[in-house]
Amino acid sequence: MKLLFLKKIISFILVIIITSCFAGCENKKVDLQETPEPAENGPRLGLYVGDDGCFYLDGKKFYGIGFNWHGGFTMANDRKQRERLPDFFAELKNSNVPFVRTMLGAFYDSDVRFYFEDRDKWFDCMDYFVSLAEQYHVGIIASFWCNNAYTLYAGEDFIALTDPYSKACTVMKTMMTDIITRYKDSPAIWGWEIANESNLACEIDNYYDSEMKSENTVTTEMIALFYDTASKVIRANDPNRMITNGDGGLRGAWKSLKTNKSWFPKDTEEDYDELFETFTPGEIDTHSIHYPSGESIRSHVERSRKMGLGLFIGEFHSTAGFTTGFTDSAGTEEREGWESIVQQMIDADVQLMCHWCWGRCIQQLGDPTSVEIGLIKRNGKPFYQNYYVWDRVRDINWQFFTEGKNNASEYWDKYGELSFAANNSADRQ
């Protein structure tokens, strides 16, 4: 009891110190107990989840397939790549791609340091990226991406993110609040994602890099507490948009790993019910899955709808890619694998899915973190982009549009003038 009391005293003092240090970063007070109600008047921007577990855009059910573009925002910090960003956005618009999933946060602790040491430059880059998304009518599922970037910066173990008064948690809340309040009135922001694939670390020893103080194995309980805190920060600043946990693959043995750190027995349908409940605490209204197996997709859609949760397939690729290493990217096996998984998602009524990654050959050298296949040599041989993915994404979105399932163009016609860029010095080139 004495140790617990001492820890609380130390944490309280630490919060005061950290808050004063970050005063110049416009850190706003966040009341985690109060959740604003969605605005009854005015636009409801971005995607949101209805009580039926379905995604809506401006009052209509929305179906769409997009691309992951992890390094889009970071490209704005490089002079040569910044000049090319409009071309990337133009190709997305011209190919009927309604949204991208991208990082609007931190991947490394150096990114967090960049934010605190040069906030003006940080937001100059992000402002430019968001303003281009507005200009070219491309929605953004904005991910804060790496949770351990906060702990590395703070010099703390991951468990610090379960303590709202820790330095790492204070850093996280400061950045999230600053980013959300800056862009919540932009029609380009379609949703928020807490982190990328945090669930994969649960109950796995030494999952994170050894440079991070990893004295404790990350547990399901830790991630749930982290999600709870982060989701309340997001909802306190944005009452409307979808909030997804960003979870990766479901691993198939979550309950066994949690209870006895074993990969057997495999999860049952009841275990998946508990998993969905556990990883969507607080204000999270959307469960994320990466690389789902085809036979499980329908049951996961039904489960999420029953629970009133949206289901976001945040990453997927051809199942053949995992066996061929993408070396035969134009081959029949990979193409059929990609077509199969996409058709299974469409048949299961998945509304929101995002291919990893996007880009054509000439774009590979522009952003290697974002484009998986392109003009780059591996083992001395060219590595070519599978063009059919790009073409099929365009065709699928057009199909959704003709079926009345994709109202993105109507949305932009209605809210395109509500531009962040127009109100914040649009010309940032």
Give the model confidence (pLDDT) of 149-184 as tens digits.
999 999 999 899 999 999 999 999 999 999 999 999
CATH code at 232? 3.20.20.80
Q: List the one residue out of 30, 6, 4, 22 whose CA is nearest residue 230.
A: 30
Average pLDDT, the chain: 83
Q: Whole domain around residue 114: which residue ranges? A: 62-423
pLDDT of residue 81: 82
- Tell me, what amino acid is at 371? V
Domain count, the chain: 1
pLDDT of residue 29: 34
Q: What is the DSSP letter of 200?
A: G
Give me the helices (H) in 22-166, please.
72-75, 79-94, 109-117, 119-135, 148-154
Domain presence at residue 40: no
Q: Which residues contact 166 (CB under 8 A, 6 or more apart)?
A: 11, 14, 154, 156, 160
Domain presence at residue 428: no
Between these two residues, 263 and 424, which has the higher pLDDT value? 263
Domain presence at residue 36: no
Helix (H) / strand (E) containing 302: helix 294-307
Domain presence at residue 56: no
Look at residue 115 and give its three-state secondary structure: helix
Domain presence at residue 52: no
Domain presence at residue 53: no
| Terminal Cα distance for the chain, rounded | 57
Average pLDDT of 310-336? Answer: 69
Between these two residues, 180 and 358, which has the higher pLDDT value? 180
